[in-house]
């Protein structure tokens, strides 16, 4: 149970770091990826498909943010499945895979990929932010294993 809790805490920290970096850099750089916009579109389309009126404005942003934190926390918590000595490397690798996945899967899922693929810099930042989140998760999970 203690290991599972540590994995969940690490995953939550990684997801929080990812979202804080995304939102902070978006305030200062027009090249910053806007994963939140992709998430809002995905949430709206998903709710429409099941006949539910999607939220609008700030409520849509907050609902998407909550869903993003929960899903990324669950994903990053899987890093804890590795042996302690491999956790940081797996955290970084998991983050890189998530970032590349965001770039590669958005359009095939029927979503507008421009918010994360506008420029080369935007693409690099997308992958880097997910990698930072994975690394943060790995560091926390490893430190909680001591």
* Domain chopping of the chain, boundaries: 2-144
pLDDT at 83 (0 to 100): 84
For the beta carbon of residue 63, count every other beta carbon within 10 angstroms.
17
CA 126 to chain centre: 9
Nearest to 72 by CA among 12, 120, 121: 12
The SS3 of residue 5 is helix
Give the pLDDT confidence of 56-106 residue by residue, as tens digits.
Answer: 999 999 999 999 999 999 999 999 998 888 999 999 999 999 999 999 999
Print burial letters for 81-113: b (CB count within 10 Å at least 16), e (below 16).
Answer: ebeeeebbebbbbbbbebbeebbeebeeeebeb
**Residue 1 pLDDT:** 61
pLDDT in tens, 111-123: 999 999 999 999 9
CB atoms within 10 A of CB 71: 12
């Amino acid at each position: 149970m203690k290991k599972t809790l540590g994995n969940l805490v690490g995953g939550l920290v990684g997801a929080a770091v990812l979202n804080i970096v995304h939102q902070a850099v978006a305030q200062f750089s027009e090249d910053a990826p806007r994963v939140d916009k992709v998430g809002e579109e995905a949430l709206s389309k998903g709710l429409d498909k099941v006949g539910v009126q999607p939220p609008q404005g700030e409520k849509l942003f907050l609902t998407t943010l909550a869903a993003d934190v929960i899903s990324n926390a669950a994903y990053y918590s899987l890093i804890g499945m590795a042996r302690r000595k491999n956790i940081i490397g797996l955290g970084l690798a998991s983050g890189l895979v998530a970032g590349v996945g965001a770039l590669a899967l958005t359009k095939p899922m029927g979503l507008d990929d421009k918010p994360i693929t506008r420029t080369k810099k935007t693409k690099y930042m997308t992958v880097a932010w997910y990698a930072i989140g994975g690394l943060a998760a790995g560091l926390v999970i490893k430190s909680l294993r001591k």
